[in-house]
Amino acid sequence: VAFLLLDIGNPAVEAIPIGTRVWCGLLQSLSVRAAGFFVVSLAAVTPALRVQYIVMMYIAIFPIAILIRSTNFYEE
């Protein structure tokens, strides 16, 4: 949803047909956290969407980081 809303009026995203744009947004939401694949170049998206991607990447690793800090493998 953020891919569609934050890039309203962006010529790089507006060039993609609306049906394809929805699928591209879904792909972006899944792959930016795990694989780092991008449909539209990061240079072409708005700064607000870049911040959204950074937050998504941080949230993806946060539960793993908390789990590693709460366990101590060497003392068990």
Per-residue b or e along 49-75, where b marks 16 or more CB atoms closer than 10 Å to that residue's CB: beebbeeeeeeeeeeeeeeeeeeeeee
Distance between CA atoms of 20 and 33, rounded to whole angstroms?
20
The parent domain of residue 18 ranges over 2-75
Statement: the pTM of the whole predicted model exceeds 0.75? no
pLDDT in tens, the chain (76 residues): 777 788 888 888 888 898 998 898 888 877 777 777 778 888 888 888 888 888 877 776 666 666 666 666 666 5
Contact at 8 Å (CB) between 7 and 49? Answer: yes
Domain total in the chain = 1
